[in-house]
A and B are shown apart, each in its own frame.
Chain A
Amino acid sequence: MTTPMTTLQQTTRFTLFYATSQLRLRYRYTSLGFLWNFLEPAMFLVVLSVIFSVVNRMDISDYAVFLFAALVPWRYLEKIVNSSMESIVGGDWLIKRMSVSPMVLPMTRWIMASVEFVFSMVVVFLLFGFLKPTWTVHLVVLPLSVLPWSLFGLGLGLIAAVLFTFFRDVRPIVQMVLMLTFFSSPILFRPDIFGEGTLQSAIIQFHPMTYFSALFQKPVYFAQWPSPEDWVVSFLLSLLAMAAGITMMRRYSSRFYYYL
C-alpha cells in the first residue's frame, strides 16, 4: 500500500542514492579523486586571502580568519542557489520519463553542497591551525550557525528553480543579485570600518547577510556568542524563504513538464 510515508521514504532513498552517486561522479575521472574535496577549497581560500589582504592592507593571518569565517558559509549558500536553480531544467531526463516529485532535484543539489561545505570547514579548521592564535569555546555554536544558512539557501534555491523553469532570463538576474549581496555585505570587510550615520553603515544594518555573517564571524573572529537578534533575523528569513520555496514547488510542479 502506498501511503504518504512510503512515498516519502521512497523519495528520500532515491534522493540520497542520487546525491551519493553524483558526488562519486564528480571526481571519478580525476587522478587525485577524493582529495579534490580538500584541495579545491584550500586553493580557493588561500588565493583569496592573499589577494584581499594585499588590497585591504591588513595582516594576512588576521584577515584570513575574518574572511574565511563568513566566506565559507556564503559559498555554501551561493552553491545551493545556483545549482538548485538549474536542477529542474537539467533534470528533464528524469522528470519527462518517471513519476517523481521534482523536489528531489534541488534537494540532491542541497545535499551535495552540504557535503562540500563539510569538507570546506575541515580545510578551514586546518588552516586556522596556522592562522588563529586563540581558540575559544564560542566555536561550539557553529553547527547551529550553519542551519539558517542552509535553510535560507535551500529556500532561495527552490524559488530560483521554479522561476528558472518558467523564465530562463532568471539565471543572470539571480547571479547578479547574489554578487551584489556579496559585495555589499560585511563578509569581505568588518562592519565597524564605516562611521555611524553614514549610508554604508545604514546599508549594513539592514543587510540580511549582516545577521547571517554574525553567526560565524562572532564565534570565529570576535570570540563572542551571536546575539539573539542575529539568531531571530536569520532564522526568520530562512524559514520564510523555505515556506515560499516549498509553496511555489507544490503549486507549480504539475506544470514543469510543459516547460522542459
Chain B
Amino acid sequence: MSDNIEKKVSEPLLSKKRKQLVSNPMDTDNPITIQVLGICSALAVTIALEGTVIMALAVFFVLVLANVLISAMRNTIPNRIRIIVQLVVVASLVAVVDQVLRAYAYEQSKALSVFVGLIITNCIVMGRLEAFAMGNKPWDSFLDGVGNAVGYGWIIIAIAFVRELFGAGKLFGQQVLPDSYIGNGFFATPAAACIILGLIIWILRAKSGYVED
C-alpha cells in the first residue's frame, strides 16, 4: 500500500444515517404499518402478552443474526443461489430458536406451535436480507435488523396488550380488570387482531401523512 492514498475516514459508529437505520423502521418505515409485512404472525400469536413477547424476541434474534451473517457472507454468495442461501441461514437460526424454546420455555413453545417455525417465511426477515443485508456492511445490517425487529415487536406487543386486556381482563396472565369483568370473546379471535392492527395503521399513517402510491 502506498502512503499517498488518503486514509479513508470511516463513518462514526452511530452517525445520523445509521441512527435512522434503527429509528425509521420503528416509525416512518415500519415493516407492519407501512410495508404491511409479517401480518400472518401478527394476527396469530397476539392473543396473550407472554407468548407475544417471546415471539418478538425470537424474531429479533433471527432477524438481527440473519442480517449480520448474510451481510458478512454477501460477497461470497453466488448470485444464482442467494435466496436458497438466505433461507438456509434463516431456517437454521429458527431451528435453534425452536430447540431453545422447547428446552427453556416448553409451555410457551407449545402455545406458539407452528408460528415459531413460520418465522422462516416471515416476509420481514427475507425482505430485509434481500433488500438490505445483501448490499450493506455487517454493522449497518445489524442496526437495520434491530430497527425492523423492534418495529415489528412493538406493534405485535401493542396488539396483544389490547387483546389480552379486553379479551381476558388480564395482562401477562395476571388479572388486572375487576373479577366482575367478563372477557370479551371477540378479542380472543384473530378478527379482533385484524381490526386492532387496522386501527394502529390508521393512527400511525394519519400522524405521518403517509399515503400509498
Q: Tell me whether A and B are bound partners.
A: no
